[in-house]
Amino acid sequence: MFRSPQQSIPARALSAEPLKHKPLYPMTIHIKSAEEIAIMRVAGRLAAEVLEMIAPYVIPGITTEEINQICHDYMVNVQQVIPAPLNYKGFPKSICTSINHTVCHGIPGPKKLKSGDIINIDITVIKDGYHGDTSQMFLVGDVPIRASRLSNVCQEALYLGIRAVKPEATLGDIGHAIQQHAEQHGLSIVREFCGHGIGKKFHEDPQVLHYGKPGTGITLKEGMIFTIEPMLNLGKRDVKILSDGWTAVTKDHSLSAQWEHTILVTHDGFEILTLRQQEVDDFAR
């Protein structure tokens, strides 16, 4: 999501002491009930299953409009969920497709994928009023080593961020884990977009930054649900928004990658609500 200025304001809902001054942008982090968590587990699984369903179609020659249509039909007709992006703040399609130097929020269109492209497909469903949000990179045909490496390091950075999640850890711990890994590999981190709380609303508090210092920021509590969705670039971190008002691209046109999961804070760690079957072994504990 696009970052808003409330990012630096303390969590009112969670602060132990009453606030002396009313914050300009009060933050309200919803702790989910057992019933809400049960629904969000289903929403998360359904979002993950859209990615699993679409994987075999992501090959040279297909257009992102066709990918959008297949995902839309699957969500609406098979899963009977609502594609959250469609008409969200005026977004015109049911999924986001971000190719090569597109950082995020790419709009599906008539462009054909070609061998060597890398593409992020971002799926958000609404099931019984609750959102599940996840995205992954796909490598189309034969891609250059630097492109697959970018994608892999970004996925590893997401995984390291996820592994930092547990009660009493902080958002800064998550950001730090991601930043360490990205910078160790010489990749830059996009700062204009961040992860987000998620539930009845697509984008809730808190904002989850993909860089930071250990022990800083909001303290995580059991029952929080938020996304982690780092965007890493091969070149400089700077982005610009195209005239369509949505598509974010790297200013220097360097390749960009993103991976996203929706995460529940459990009593002793985390649960990935959008885990794909293929990833189960990665997180076997």
Position 122 contacts Co ion (CB under 5 A) = yes
Q: 212 to each of 150, 155, 216, 276, how far by Cα in Å?
A: 21, 18, 8, 28
Position 199 contacts ligand MF3 (CB under 6 A) = no
Part in contact with Co ion (CB under 5 A); list of ranges 6-14, 15-23, 134-142, 205-213 = 134-142
Position 91 contacts ligand MF3 (CB under 6 A) = yes
One of 36, 49, 117, 122 touching ligand MF3 (CB under 6 A): 122
DSSP assignment of 207-231, as one string?
A: EE-SS--TT-SPBP-TT-EEEE--E
Within 241-270, which residues bind ligand MF3 (CB under 6 A)?
246, 260
Residue 88's binding partner, choosing from Co ion, ligand MF3, none, with beta-carbon cut-off 5 to 8 A by kind? ligand MF3
Q: Take residue 21 and report the two structure tokens written for it.
A: 């001054």
Whichever of 143 and 270 has its CB closer to ligand MF3, that residue is: 270
One of 49, 117, 133, 204 touching ligand MF3 (CB under 6 A): 133
Position 205 contacts ligand MF3 (CB under 6 A) = no
Q: Can you say whether the dihedral through the CA atoms of 36, 39, 43, 45 is positive or negative?
A: positive
For the bound state, the minimum distance from the C-beta of residue 118 to Co ion, rounded and expressed in Å, comes to 17
For the bound state, the minimum distance from the C-beta of residue 85 to ligand MF3, rounded and expressed in Å, comes to 3
For the bound state, the minimum distance from the C-beta of residue 16 to ligand MF3, rounded and expressed in Å, comes to 30
One of 227, 233, 256, 274 touching Co ion (CB under 5 A): 227
Tell me the residue ranges of DSSP E strands in 12-162: 82-83, 96-99, 102-104, 118-127, 130-139
For the bound state, the minimum distance from the C-beta of residue 111 to Co ion, rounded and expressed in Å, comes to 20
H or E element: which one contains 195?
strand 195-197
Q: 6 to each of 3, 196, 239, how far by Cα in Å?
A: 8, 12, 21
Residue 45 · residue 132 · CB < 8 Å:
yes
- Determine the Cα–Cα distance for residues 178 and 196; give it in Å rounded to an integer: 15
- Determine the Cα–Cα distance for residues 229 and 256; give it in Å rounded to an integer: 13
Interface map 208-237 toward ligand MF3 (x if CB under 6 A): -------------------x-x--------
Residue 205's binding partner, choosing from Co ion, ligand MF3, none, with beta-carbon cut-off 5 to 8 A by kind? none
